[in-house]
Homo-oligomer: A and B are copies of this chain.
Amino acid sequence: MTDRKCGAWLIGALGNISAAVIAGAALLRRGLAEPLGMVTSIPPFQGLDLVTVENIVFSGCDIRQGRLQDSLQQLLDGTGAIGPEKLASIREDLLKVESTFVPGTCRNCGPAIESLAASGNGEDFHLREEISSFRHRLREFKREHGLETLVVVNLASTEPPVPASLPSEDLDALEKALDTNDGSGLRASTLYSYSAIQEGCPYVNFTPSTGALTPAILRLARKRRVPVMGNDGKTGETLVKSVLAPMFVWRNLEVMSWEGFNILGNMDGCILENPQNKSAKLETKDLALSHILGYSPHSRVHIDYVPSLRDQKTAWDFIHFRGFLGAGMSLQFVWQGFDSLLAAPLVLDLVRLAEFAQIRGEYGLMPHLASFFKAPLGVRAHALHEQVQLLTDYVRKVKEGRAPE
A244 on interface, CB distance cutoff 8 Å: yes
Q: Are the C-beta atoms of A324 and B259 separated by less than 8 Å? A: no
A37 on interface, CB distance cutoff 8 Å: yes
Q: Count of A residues near B, CB < 8 Å?
A: 77
Which one, A5-13, A192-200, A331-339, is touching chain B? A331-339
Residue among B39, B83, B253, B334 making CB contact with A332, cutoff 8 Å: B334
Separation of A385 and B304 alpha carbons in the complex (Å): 31
Q: A81-B327, A328-B79 are in contact. Are A298 and B302 (CB under 8 A)?
A: no
A66 on interface, CB distance cutoff 8 Å: no
Q: Are the C-beta atoms of A308 and B318 separated by less than 8 Å? A: no
Residue among B33, B329, B331, B385 making CB contact with A333, cutoff 8 Å: B331
A183 on interface, CB distance cutoff 8 Å: no
Q: 13 more A-B contacts (CB under 8 A) besides A76-B325, A309-B320, A324-B345?
A: A23-B325, A78-B78, A79-B327, A80-B326, A82-B325, A257-B308, A259-B263, A316-B316, A327-B338, A329-B336, A330-B336, A331-B335, A331-B336
**Chain A interface residues (CB < 8 Å from chain B):** 20, 23-24, 27, 33-39, 41-42, 76-84, 239-240, 243-244, 246-247, 249-254, 256-257, 259, 261, 263, 298, 300, 302, 304, 306-309, 314, 316, 318, 320, 322-338, 341-342, 344-345, 371, 383-385, 388
